[in-house]
C-alpha cells in the first residue's frame, strides 16, 4: 500500500507513463503527504531515470523559451538573505585562511563598513542587466522628425526618392537603392543617424560604405548618391569600411579635420576635443585648413587639441598598433596606459553611466582588457578590485575621496602590468 | 557591432559572474529537454512552463553557489523535480477539496474506489490523531495548510531543523501505524 515506497514508485511510474487510473492518481496524491520532499524527489528521479527519454512536446512548448530579463527582474533577493550570504561568504574565506587569523577576520567582518557593501550588493541584480552596446539608434530627418529604431523594428523604415531604408534582422540599417534614376535638380535630402550613450549601431550606406557607430555619436549624410560631393559629417566615434569599387572619393567632415577617402578601412574618434583617425587598410588624406597629411595603413593621425602634442591646426602622424584603437568593436576592449579619467569617460558612454566627482577617482593609468559584452556589474567589480571607492545607485557612480589610499599607492599594485593586457573582465 | 560571441565557455560558470547572456544561453540550450522532463510529472503545459520559469529563477538567485558545483545541470534537474513536486501537491490540494464536496450520487460507478480512498484518508487521520501534540501541529501545518518548513518554524518559534525532525518523525509513525492497520483493513 502507499506506506511502502516501492508501491509509491509504481504509482509514480504509471503517472509518468500516463497509464495510471483515476483511482491510482488519487492514491498517489495521498501518498505525497506521507513522504518528505527529499524522499519523493529521489523517487521521481529514480523512476524518470528508468523511463526512455521522450521529447514529444507540442510545437508551442518546443518553441517556448522564457526570457532571461524577466527571470532576473522577478528574482529579488530579500535584504536579509543578502546580508546573511555576505557574512557566510566571509566565513568560508576564514576557514580557508589560517586558523590563527580567524578571530581577526571575524572582528574585521563586524567592523567592516557593511553599509557600503550592502548598497552595492543590492544593486547587483540591476547592474547585471545593464549591458553595453545596445542595438538602438535614432534616425532624424531634415525636417526634424525623429524615429527611434530599436530591435522592435524590422523591415522598411522610410523611403526617400529612389532609396529605401530597412532594418535587417541582424540589426543593421541598410539603405537600398530601388534602381530608379534620381530626379535631377532637387535639393539633396540629408539623414542623421545618432546613437545615445550605451548604444551602438551598424549602417550600410547606399554606396556600400559600412559604418559602425559607437555610443553617443552621430553621422549626417545625403541619402541620394548623385550629390556631386559625397560627404559624411561625423560626431563621436565610428569605424568605416569602404568597398573597393567606388567611382569617386568621398569625405568625412569632423570638427577638427577633413578626411578624403578612396577606399580604406579606418576608425575616427572625435570624442575628446581632437580627432584621432586610425587606418587599418587603404589610404587616407587628412586635411585641416593649415595642414594636410597622407595616412598609410598602421598609422594614426591626430588633429585638434591634444594634451601632449598641442597641435592647433596641425596634423601629427604616428605609427601605432591599430588593435587598441579598433578594439571597441571586438570581443574585448584593450586599454594601454589610459588615464583613469579617460577610462571612466569611456565607460560613461559605453554603459550610459553618470559619474559624479570623476576628479576624485584616482589619477593613475590603466592597462588591461575589458570584455565588450560584460554587464555593468562586471565593470563595478573591476573598479572595486582596483581600489576605487564609489557608491553605485543604478546608473550613477558617486566617487568619494579616500586620500589615505591614494597616498599609499594601494591601487597601482593591483593594476595589471603595462604592455601586457590581462583579461580582467571575465576570469 | 562586430561583436563575436566569445562565451562558448561553460555558461554555468559565467552565470556565477552575474553574466546575463549566460542565462540566455542556458535557456536556449536546455529548455526543451527540461520541459520534456517536467512534463513527465506535470501534464498541463502552462504549469510546466511555470515550473521551468521558477527553476530558472532559482538558478539565477543561487548562481554563485551553483557555479561552484561540479554538476550544475544536475542541480537544475533536481530543482525542476522539486518544483514539479510542489506544483503537484498544490494542485492536489485544489483537487481533493473538489473531491470531498462530491456526494456519492454525483459520482456513481466509482463508489468502490471511493470507499477505498475515504477509508485510507480516515486511516491517515487516525494515525495523525495519535501523534504527540507537537508532531500533530507541525504535520497539519505542513500537509493540511501547505506551509513550508520555514513558515512553520516561524509560526511555532522553533528552528527549521526541528521542524524537519518533527515531520520526519511524524511521517515514520504514520506509516508504521498504517502498516499495522492496513492489514486489518484489507481483511
Tens of pLDDT, residue by residue over B149-161, are 888 898 888 888 9
Nearest to B92 among A32, A34, A129 (CB): A32
A30/B14 touch (CB, cutoff 8 Å), yes or no: no
B171/A48 touch (CB, cutoff 8 Å), yes or no: no
What pLDDT digit, counting tens, does each position of A273-297 carry? 899 999 999 889 999 988 889 999 9
pLDDT of residue A262 exceeding 90, the answer is no
Rounded distance, CA A217 to CA A196, Å? 7
What pLDDT digit, counting tens, does each position of A130-163 carry? 788 888 888 888 777 888 888 777 778 888 777 8
Confidence band, pLDDT 50/70/90 cuts, at residue A126: low
Taking the Cβ of residue A307 and every Cβ of chain B, the question of whether any pair is shorter than 8 Å is answered with no
Rounded distance, CA A130 to CA A395, Å? 8
pLDDT of residue A103 exceeding 50, the answer is no
pLDDT of residue A178 exceeding 80, the answer is no
- Looking at per-residue pLDDT, the higher value among A303 and B119 belongs to A303
Read out DSSP for B96-147?
HHHHHH--GGGSTT-HHHHHHHHHHHHHHHHHHHTS-HHHHHHHIIIIIS--
Q: Which of A66, A76, A214, A334 to mutate to test binding with chain B, by most B CBs within 10 Å of its CB?
A: A66
At A389, give phi and psi (nearest 5°): -110, 120
What pLDDT digit, counting tens, does each position of B16-70 carry? 777 778 888 889 888 988 998 888 888 888 888 889 998 998 898 888 888 888 8
Quote the pLDDT of residue A402: 58
A71/B116 touch (CB, cutoff 8 Å), yes or no: no
Choose among A184, A275, A279, A283: nearest CA to A233. Answer: A275
Quote the pLDDT of residue A76: 58
CA dihedral A205, A206, A209, A211 (to 10 degrees): 10
- Please tell me the distance in Å from B153's CA to the nearest CA on chain A: 16
What pLDDT digit, counting tens, does each position of A13-50 carry? 888 888 888 788 888 888 888 888 888 888 888 888 88
Rounded distance, CA B26 to CA B35, Å? 13
Taking the Cβ of residue A52 and every Cβ of chain B, the question of whether any pair is shorter than 8 Å is answered with no
Confidence band, pLDDT 50/70/90 cuts, at residue A124: low
Confidence band, pLDDT 50/70/90 cuts, at residue A72: confident
Read out DSSP for A318-345?
EE--HHHHHGGGSSEEEEEEEEHHHHHH
Residues from chain A contacting residue B95 (CB–CB below 8 Å): 29
Mean pLDDT of A174-182: 73
In the Cβ-directed half-sphere of A95, how many Cα atoms lie within 13 Å? 5
The set of residues, in sequence order, having a beta carbon less than 8 Å from that of A236 and lying 6+ positions away, is A195, A213, A214, A215, A216, A217, A218, A270, A271
Confidence band, pLDDT 50/70/90 cuts, at residue A220: very high
Choose among B66, B178, B76, B186: nearest CA to B130. Answer: B178
What pLDDT digit, counting tens, does each position of A408-424 carry? 433 333 344 333 444 44
pTM as predicted? 0.50
Confidence band, pLDDT 50/70/90 cuts, at residue B94: low
Which spans in A273-328 are helix H?
Answer: 322-326
Nearest to A34 among B19, B92, B175 (CB): B175
- Provide the chain A residues 119-148 that lie in CB contact (below 8 A) with chain B: 124, 127-129, 131, 133, 135
A68/B182 touch (CB, cutoff 8 Å), yes or no: no
Confidence band, pLDDT 50/70/90 cuts, at residue B86: confident
Structural domains present in chain B: 2-95 (1.10.1740.10), 100-186 (1.10.10.10)
Residues from chain A contacting residue B89 (CB–CB below 8 Å): 32
Yes or no: say if A227 and A183 are a contact pair by the CB < 8 Å rule. Answer: no
Amino acid at each position: 500500500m502507499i506506506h511502502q515506497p516501492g508501491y509509491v514508485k509504481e504509482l509514480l511510474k504509471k503517472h509518468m507513463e500516463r497509464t495510471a487510473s483515476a483511482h491510482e492518481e488519487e492514491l498517489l496524491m495521498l501518498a505525497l503527504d506521507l513522504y518528505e520532499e527529499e524522499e519523493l524527489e529521489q523517487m521521481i528521479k529514480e523512476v524518470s531515470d528508468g523511463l526512455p527519454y521522450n521529447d514529444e512536446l507540442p510545437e508551442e512548448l518546443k518553441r517556448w523559451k522564457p526570457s532571461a530579463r524577466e527571470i532576473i527582474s522577478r528574482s529579488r533577493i530579500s535584504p536579509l538573505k543578502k546580508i546573511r550570504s555576505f557574512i557566510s561568504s566571509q566565513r568560508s574565506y576564514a576557514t580557508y585562511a589560517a586558523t590563527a587569523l580567524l578571530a581577526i577576520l571575524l572582528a574585521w567582518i563586524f567592523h567592516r563598513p557593511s553599509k557600503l557593501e550592502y548598497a552595492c550588493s543590492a544593486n547587483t541584480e540591476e547592474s547585471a542587466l545593464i549591458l553595453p552596446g545596445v542595438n538602438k539608434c535614432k534616425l532624424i530627418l531634415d525636417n526634424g522628425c525623429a524615429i527611434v529604431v530599436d530591435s522592435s523594428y524590422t523591415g522598411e523604415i522610410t523611403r526617400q526618392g529612389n532609396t529605401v531604408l530597412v532594418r535587417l534582422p541582424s540589426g543593421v540599417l541598410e539603405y537600398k537603392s530601388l534602381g530608379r534614376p534620381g530626379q535631377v535638380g532637387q535639393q539633396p535630402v540629408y539623414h542623421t543617424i545618432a546613437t545615445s550613450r550605451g548604444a551602438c549601431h551598424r549602417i550600410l550606406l547606399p554606396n556600400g560604405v559600412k559604418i559602425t557607430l559607437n555610443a553617443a555619436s552621430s553621422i549626417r549624410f545625403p541619402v541620394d548618391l548623385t550629390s556631386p560631393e559625397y560627404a559624411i559629417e561625423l560626431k563621436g566615434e565610428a569605424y568605416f569600411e569602404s568597398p573597393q569599387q567606388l567611382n569617386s572619393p568621398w569625405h568625412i567632415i569632423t570638427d577638427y579635420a577633413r578626411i578624403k577617402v578612396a577606399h580604406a578601412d579606418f576608425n575616427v574618434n572625435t570624442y575628446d576635443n581632437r580627432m584621432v583617425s586610425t587606418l587599418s587598410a587603404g589610404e587616407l588624406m587628412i586635411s585641416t585648413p593649415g595642414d594636410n597629411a597622407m595616412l598609410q595603413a598602421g598609422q594614426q593621425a591626430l588633429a585638434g587639441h591634444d594634451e601632449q602634442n598641442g597641435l592647433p591646426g596641425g596634423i601629427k602622424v604616428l605609427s601605432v598598433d591599430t588593435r587598441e584603437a579598433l578594439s571597441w568593436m571586438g570581443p574585448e576592449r584593450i586599454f594601454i596606459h589610459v588615464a583613469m579619467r579617460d577610462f571612466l569617460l569611456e565607460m560613461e558612454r559605453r554603459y550610459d553611466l553618470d559619474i559624479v566627482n570623476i576628479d576624485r577617482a584616482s589619477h593613475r593609468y590603466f592597462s588591461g582588457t575589458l570584455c565588450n559584452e560584460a554587464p555593468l556589474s562586471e565593470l563595478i567589480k573591476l573598479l572595486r578590485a582596483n581600489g576605487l571607492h564609489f557608491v553605485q545607485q543604478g546608473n550613477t557612480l558617486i566617487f568619494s575621496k579616500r586620500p589615505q589610499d591614494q597616498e599609499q599607492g594601494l591601487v597601482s599594485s593591483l593594476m595589471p602590468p603595462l604592455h601586457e593586457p590581462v583579461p580582467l573582465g571575465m576570469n | 557591432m562586430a561583436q563575436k560571441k566569445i562565451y562558448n565557455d561553460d555558461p554555468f560558470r559565467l552565470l556565477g559572474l552575474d553574466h546575463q547572456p549566460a542565462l540566455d544561453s542556458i535557456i536556449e540550450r536546455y529548455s526543451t529537454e527540461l520541459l520534456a522532463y517536467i512534463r513527465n510529472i506535470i501534464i498541463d503545459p502552462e504549469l510546466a512552463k511555470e515550473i521551468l520559469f521558477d527553476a530558472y529563477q532559482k538558478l539565477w538567485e543561487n548562481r554563485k553557489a551553483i557555479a561552484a558545483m561540479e554538476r550544475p545541470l544536475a542541480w537544475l534537474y533536481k530543482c525542476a523535480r522539486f518544483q514539479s513536486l510542489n506544483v503537484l501537491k498544490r494542485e492536489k490540494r485544489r483537487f481533493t477539496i473538489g473531491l470531498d464536496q462530491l456526494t456519492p450520487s454525483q459520482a456513481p460507478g466509482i463508489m468502490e474506489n471511493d470507499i477505498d480512498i475515504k477509508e485510507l484518508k480516515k486511516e491517515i487521520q487516525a494515525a495523525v490523531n495519535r501523534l504527540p501534540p507537537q508532531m500533530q501541529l507541525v504535520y497539519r501545518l505542513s500537509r493540511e495548510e501547505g506551509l513550508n518548513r520555514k513558515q512553520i518554524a516561524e509560526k511555532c518559534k522553533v528552528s527549521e531543523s526541528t521542524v524537519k525532525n518533527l515531520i520526519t518523525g511524524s511521517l515514520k509513525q504514520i506509516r508504521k501505524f498504517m502498516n499495522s492497520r492496513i492489514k486489518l483493513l484489507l481483511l
